[in-house]
């Protein structure tokens, strides 16, 4: 079947591209240039997309990647009016739509695969962690949580997910160290399933997804459900982290640091966005 893209639903440029390669296999690309910053519009589109996945009876596997080779997703938009995010209507779980979308993505009867090329920081890491499986470019993937280095709390649930993936010590190293984790180290830590040579990543992920798409959907969904029951955090662990993020990002220490980072080019194509781990360090 010929691949088709989701048509625009409004006058705003869509920030998430959906390519339906077949009824069984969709490719989703984050597409908000220049940095794939996540804000309220992307959150709404992600929530709508997860709902669409929940209601796609033949869908078996979704790959989430990016149209930008340098940024899977830079991070959440921490410079816009926070009320725009705070006042968003809750999702179907009753949680804010950020943790809601991540929780529902994880619990889908559909396999979700993150294909990570470029920087996946903050919410970029969180959407990857919400996926079932993560593959990364060995040369070009950078995963990190910069939030503590900027004076606030990660909001999308990595504190609940990371210890289950990589153990308590390594989770604390990533979250509290707030440094950049390259693809090969991410693989060693269990942050991603595999780090592959960059020129092999797309082919490997596509072939793996096509392999799963060829299997029986009920067998996939039932097996995944048992793994989810044994490994996913409870929903109650997710909303408090979002509330802590919202509170902490408005505190004086965080606002002071963010003001310094803005002067260095935060949320613009700049060296600070390329090397957040360095810039949030002791010299900040």
Instruction: Read off the pLDDT of residues 184-214 as tens digits, 9 standing for 90 and up.
Output: 999 999 999 999 999 999 999 999 999 999 9
Query: Average pLDDT, stretch 135-159?
Result: 97
pLDDT reported for residue 8: 44
Q: Are 107 and 92 in contact (CB under 8 A)?
A: no
Lookup: tokens for 63? 């790959």
Query: Average pLDDT, stretch 234-242?
Result: 95
Q: Are 131 and 172 in contact (CB under 8 A)?
A: no
Residue 76 pairs with which residues in a beta bridge?
38
pLDDT value at 157 more than 50: yes
20 φ, ψ to 5°? -90, 90
What domains are defined for the chain?
16-279 (3.90.226.10)
Pairwise CA distance, residues 141 & 254, whole Å: 27
Pairwise CA distance, residues 131 & 114, whole Å: 6
pLDDT reported for residue 11: 56
pLDDT reported for residue 208: 98
pLDDT value at 4 more than 90: no
Determine the 3-state secondary structure of 77 from DSSP: coil
Query: Average pLDDT, stretch 216-222?
Result: 98
In eight-state DSSP terms, residue 5 is: B
Query: Average pLDDT, stretch 159-174?
Result: 98
pLDDT value at 126 more than 70: yes
Helix ranges (DSSP H) in the chain:
40-54, 82-86, 97-107, 123-130, 147-150, 158-166, 168-177, 183-189, 198-213, 217-231, 239-249, 252-263, 271-274, 276-279
pLDDT reported for residue 112: 98
Instruction: Read off the pLDDT of residues 27-36 as tens digits, 9 standing for 90 and up.
Output: 999 999 999 9
Instruction: Read off the pLDDT of residues 81-121 as tens digits, 9 standing for 90 and up.
Output: 889 999 999 999 999 999 999 999 999 999 999 999 999 99
Pairwise CA distance, residues 213 & 110, whole Å: 10
pLDDT value at 3 more than 70: no
Distance of CA 113 to the CA centre of its chain: 11
pLDDT reported for residue 12: 81
Instruction: Please give the share of the chain, as a percent, with pLDDT higher than 90.
Output: 93
Query: Average pLDDT, stretch 242-247?
Result: 95
| Cis upstream peptide for 206 (omega within 30°) | no
Give the DSSP H or E segment for 264: none
Instruction: Read off the pLDDT of residues 6-60 as tens digits, 9 standing for 90 and up.
Output: 444 445 899 999 999 999 999 999 999 999 999 999 999 999 999 999 999 999 9
pLDDT value at 275 more than 80: yes
pLDDT value at 2 more than 90: no
pLDDT reported for residue 196: 98
């Amino acid at each position: 079947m010929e691949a088709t893209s989701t048509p625009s639903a409004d006058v705003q440029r869509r920030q998430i591209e959906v390519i339906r390669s077949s009824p069984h296999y969709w490719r989703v690309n984050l597409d908000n240039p220049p940095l794939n910053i996540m804000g309220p519009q992307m959150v709404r589109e992600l929530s709508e997309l997860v709902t669409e996945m929940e209601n796609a009876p033949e869908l078996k596997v979704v790959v989430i990647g990016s149209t930008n080779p340098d940024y899977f997703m830079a991070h959440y938009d921490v410079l816009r009016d926070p009320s725009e995010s705070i006042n968003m209507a809750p999702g179907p779980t009753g949680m804010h739509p950020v943790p809601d979308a991540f929780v529902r993505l994880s619990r889908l009867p559909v396999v979700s695969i993150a294909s990570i090329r470029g920087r996946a920081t903050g919410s970029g890491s969180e959407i990857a962690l919400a996926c079932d499986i993560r593959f990364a470019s060995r040369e070009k993937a950078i995963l990190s949580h910069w939030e503590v280095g900027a004076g606030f709390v990660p909001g999308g649930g990595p504190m609940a997910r990371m210890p289950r993936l990589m153990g308590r010590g390594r989770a604390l190293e990533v979250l509290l160290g707030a440094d950049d984790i390259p693809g090969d180290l991410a693989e060693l830590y269990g942050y991603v399933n595999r780090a592959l040579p960059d020129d092999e990543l797309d082919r490997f992920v596509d072939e793996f997804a096509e392999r799963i798409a060829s299997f029986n959907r009920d067998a996939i969904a039932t097996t995944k459900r048992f793994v989810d029951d044994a490994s996913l955090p409870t929903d109650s662990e997710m909303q408090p982290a979002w509330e802590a993020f919202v509170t902490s990002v408005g505190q004086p220490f965080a606002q002071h640091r963010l003001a310094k980072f803005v002067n260095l080019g935060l949320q613009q194509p700049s060296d600070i966005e390329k090397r957040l781990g360095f810039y949030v360090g002791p010299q900040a």
